[in-house]
Amino acid sequence: MHVPLIAIWPPLTLMAADILLMIPVLIFGFWPLALALFAGLVILVFDAKGRMADFRNAHRHLSSGRDPARVAKSYQFSWCGRVACTQAAWSAGDDKGRAVAEYYSTNGYRWFHIFPDKTFSLDCPFLTVRFWEITLRGNSRAKEKLEAEFDMVPVEEDANETEQPVRVSRAA
């Protein structure tokens, strides 16, 4: 399944910002900061792949008739996850897209809620293994939980379908 770029725009935007910050840092020779920015870039590449997996999983569940609010709840804790789930819902149908958008709006999420839930508390997600699992590999627990809750047999990917890399076209 092709994942639209709009579904993974948060990590792509952060990658672009990382690269723009890295250029002057390299020019002025601040190598320790450049290494930290490069590590951030690598993490963001994995984050983009994780959001692609989240998009596919959410789309699969929404297309098979699962409750949009329940699927949205599984991805509500991070900005990137909410964007991937919302775009999956819109691609599964207008009614599902509206239901997921309404769920997030009802629960108080707005466009400016960029940081993950509980970031500025003692339960900071950046300090947990689960956050890094979700960031680097996608929300596999949401997939397992949704499949278990709905007593569904995991849907097999189409054998003829190959994974398409995300391509960004450059203006000439």
Q: Which residues contact 155 (CB under 8 A, 6 or more apart)?
A: 60, 64
One pLDDT digit (tens) per residue for the chain, 172 residues? 789 999 999 999 999 999 999 999 999 999 999 999 999 999 999 999 999 999 999 999 999 999 999 999 999 989 999 999 999 999 999 999 999 999 999 999 998 888 888 888 888 888 888 888 888 888 877 777 777 766 555 555 544 444 444 444 444 4
Between vectors from CA 97 to CA 106 and to CA 114, what angle results, nearest 5°? 55
Instruction: Extract the tokens encoding 5.
Output: 């770029």
- Identify residue 118 by its one-letter amino acid code: K
> What does pTM read for this prediction?
0.78
